[in-house]
Structure 1
Amino acid sequence: MRLLKEPLLHFLLLGAGLFAWYSVRAPEVPAQDASPQIVIDAQDVDRLIVQYRATWRRPPTVAELEVMIDGLAREEVLVREAREMGLDVGDSVIRGRLTQKMDFLTTSVAQSMEPEDAVLQEHLETNADRFRTDGRIAFEQVYLGTAPDEAATKQILAHLEAGKPSDSLGQPTLLPPDLPPSARTAIDATFGSRFFEQLQGLPVGAWQGPVISGYGSHLVRVTAREEARLPTVDEIREAVLFDWRRVMSETLTEAQYEQLAAQYEITRPDLSEWADQVLQ
C-alpha cells in the first residue's frame, strides 16, 4: 500500500482528526453503565426533532416529542440492562453494526473530498477500462426469414444495390428496419447475442449478408460506425469522481484499520488443529 502517496497521507491525517473529534463529541458512557441516572438532555431533544422532521417533513407536536423522549428513555433502560446481563457479548448483529460505524467514519472523509482535475485525470487514465465507451454502430436491415432461399436473397441484394427502398423488400417483421448509432448492449438486446460482433466486421455503406440474428437472416448495411474511446474528464466528471471517492474510501478504510490494528497484539490460532474440518 502506497501510504506515502500525498493524497492518501492527507486522508489519513483527516481520518485521525475525525476519530479524535468524534471521541471528544461522543457522549461519555460510564463503565458498564454503572450510574443509575439517565439524562435526556438538549442535544438528545434536538436530535429527535431533526429525525422527526426528516421522516415526516414537519416538526413534532409536544405530545409526539414526549412520546419520543419516553421511547429514548425506555431504549436506554433496556440497553443498560441487556449489557448488564451480557446480552451484547458475542452478538454478531451488534458487532457488525459497530464495525459499520467505524468504517463510516473513514468513508465519510473520502466522500467529502474534492480532488483537483489532475487527480481525476490520473484516475481516469489508470482505470481506463472502467470508463471506456463501447463502439457504436448505426445500420439498416432487411429481414430474410429463418430459412431464406439463396436465389431470392441474391435478387433482394441486387434490388438494394440498385437503390430500391429497403422497406419494400424482404419479409415482414417487428424488428426495426434501422437503428441509429447504438452500443453493443442495445443492438444485442434487440437482435440477439453476437449480432453486434458480426456488424463490426462489415464495411460502411455497402449491403452485406446474410447476417444471422436470434430471429433469422438479414441483409445489413452499416451506415455509421463510432469506435470505442475513452471520454474526457469533463464528459464524465461525476462518474470519475464517484469512482475515485469509492477507491479512496476503500483505501483509507484499510489504511485506518492497519493504523488501529498496530496498537494491538493479535494472537491467531494454529489452524492445523482443524485440518480435518476444513477444506485444504
Structure 2
Amino acid sequence: MHRILREPLFHFLAVAAMILAADGMWSRFRKPEIIVSAAAVESRAREWQATSGIAPTAGQRSQIARDLATEEVLFRESLKREMATDNRVRSSLVGMMRSALKPPVTPPTDEELKEVLSNSPKENIMLPAQIGFESVTYTNDADVPPDLLKKLRDGAPVPASTAAVKLANPLPPTYRPQLDRLLGTAFCDAVFTLPLHQWQGPIRSTRGVHFVRVTTREVERPIPFAEIRGMLEAKWIEGRENETIAVEAAKLAQNYRIVLPDPAATPAPAKP
C-alpha cells in the first residue's frame, strides 16, 4: 500500500480526480454566459436607423446591447419554463419550420395555371349574375294599393315604399348572392327571370311584397384570366410548396417513433 502511495501515477490520478470533482462542484454555481456580439448590435442599429432615420448614438448602441442581452435572458428562461409548448408558441415554431422547408419555386406556365383554374371553386373564378331594378315594396299584401300594377304599367308616378327594409330605388346592379342574403332565394329566382323594363308583381320576399321593373341584368360569367392570374399563381406555388414540405417532413419523421391513437378507441362525437 505504501508503495502504491509513492507511485507518480497514483499522484496524477488523485490530482485529476480532485480537479474533476472541483470542476463539477464549480459548474453547479457557475453562471451560464451570454455573449452579445458586435455583429448583433450592428444589425439592430441598422434597424434602428431604418426606422428612425437617425443613426444611434454610442449611448443608444450600449442600450441596444443591453436590450439584446435581456432578450436572450428571457428567451432562455422561457425554454426553462417549457413555454415552447404553449399552443401559440408551438404554432409559431411549426410555421417557422414550414417556412424553412419551403423550396425555391419557378413561376408556373399558363398551362399549369389553367389546370389550377379548372380545379378552382366556382365562386373564385366566376362573377355572379347581377341585376338592377326599380321597385315598390310593402310589408304585407294588405298595404298594397288597389290596381297598383296597372297604374305602374300605365305610367303613374312610383309611390313610396312602406316596408321596414328600404332598398335604394332604383337599385344599382347588384350581385345575386347579396340579394339572396337580403331578400331570399325565392325572390331572386323570380326577379332574375322577369322581362326587362316592365313592371311585374306582386313578388314576395323574406321582407315583404314587391313590385319590380328590371332595368339591367347580366348573367354569370367567368372572371377574365388576366384578372385572376395572380391568385392562380399564388395557389399553384402554395401547392408545390406544400408537396415539398410534406416530403421533407416525412423524412424528418423517420427520426421518431410515432404512436397514433387507435381509431377504434376514439370516442364518437357527441350528438347535438
Change in 2 beyond 3 A, CA 1:270/1:246: closer
For the 8 Å contact 2:136–2:161, the answer to whether it is kept is no
Give the equivalent residue in structure 1 for 2:231.
239
Judged with a 3 Å threshold, the aligned counterparts in structure 2 of structure 1 residues 144 and 106 are, in CA distance, closer, same or farther, namely same
> What letter corresponds to residue 201 of structure 2 in structure 1?
G
Q: Do the aligned partners of 2:45 and 2:64 also contact (CA within 8 Å) in 1?
A: no
Give the counterpart of 1:114 among 87, 92, 107.
107
Per-residue CA distance 1:121-152 (angstroms, 9 max, x = gap): 22122215232221111222122442346771
Counterpart contact for 1:202–1:208, Cα < 8 Å: yes
**Aligned counterpart, 1:20:** none
Please give the secondary structure, in 2, of the residue aligned with 1:235: helix
Which residue number in structure 1 is paired with residue 267 of structure 2?
279
Residue 161 (structure 1) aligned with residue 156 (structure 2): no
Q: Which residue of 2 aligns with 1:125?
A: 118
Q: TM-score, normalised by structure 1?
A: 0.67
After superposition, the Cα gap between the structure-2 partners of 1:270 and 1:212, relative to the gap in structure 1 and judged at 3 Å, is closer
Aligned AA (2:183): G
Ranges in structure 2 where 5+ consecutive residues have no aligned partner? 1-29
2:178 and 2:152 map into 1 onto residues whose CA distance is: 26
The question of 1:39 aligning with 2:31 is answered no
1:211 aligns with 2:203: yes
Tell whether 2:93 aligns with 1:105.
no
In structure 1, the partner of 2:3 is: none
CA spacing shift, 1:148–1:241, aligned 2, 3 Å:
farther
Aligned partners of 2:78 and 2:84 also within 8 Å: no
- Structure 1: which 5+ residue stretches go unaligned? 1-33
Amino acid of the structure 1 residue aligned with 2:130: R
Deviations 1:214-263 (A, max 9, x none): 442111122222111221220223333333344444334323322332x3
Aligned to 1:193: 184
Q: Secondary structure at the match of 1:73?
A: helix
DSSP-derived class of the 1:114 partner: coil
Q: Tell me the SS of whatever aligns to 2:128.
A: coil
Q: CA RMSD in A?
A: 3.5
Counterpart for residue 141 of structure 1:
135
Q: 1:54 to 1:204 in 2, by over 3 A?
A: farther
Q: What residue number does 2:58 align with? A: 62
| Other structure's SS at 1:176 match | coil
Counterpart check, 1:264 vs 2:259: no
Q: Which amino acid aligns with 1:87?
A: R
The Cα offsets for residues 58-86 of structure 1, whole Å up to 9 and x where unpaired, read as 54343233212112123334544665xx4
Aligned residues, how many?
233
Residue 52 of structure 1 is matched in structure 2 by: 48
Between 1 and 2, higher relative CO (CA 8 Å, sep ≥ 6) is seen in 1
Q: Write out per-residue CA displacement over residues 165-199 of structure 1, whole angstroms, 9 at most, x where no aligned residue.
A: 5xx2333454322122210244346x533343332
- What SS is found at the alignment partner of 1:76? helix
DSSP-derived class of the 2:141 partner: coil
Work out whether 1:170 is the aligned partner of 2:166.
Answer: no
TM-score of the aligned structures, taking structure 2 as reference length: 0.68
Structure 1 CA distance for aligned equivalents of residues 53 and 177 of structure 2:
41
Cα gap change, 1:96/1:145 in structure 2, threshold over 3 Å: closer, same or farther?
closer
Aligned runs of 1:174-185 on 2, under 5 Å?
Answer: 174-185=166-177
Q: In the superposition, relative to structure 1, how do residues 106 and 226 fare at CA in structure 2: closer, same or farther (>3 Å)?
A: farther
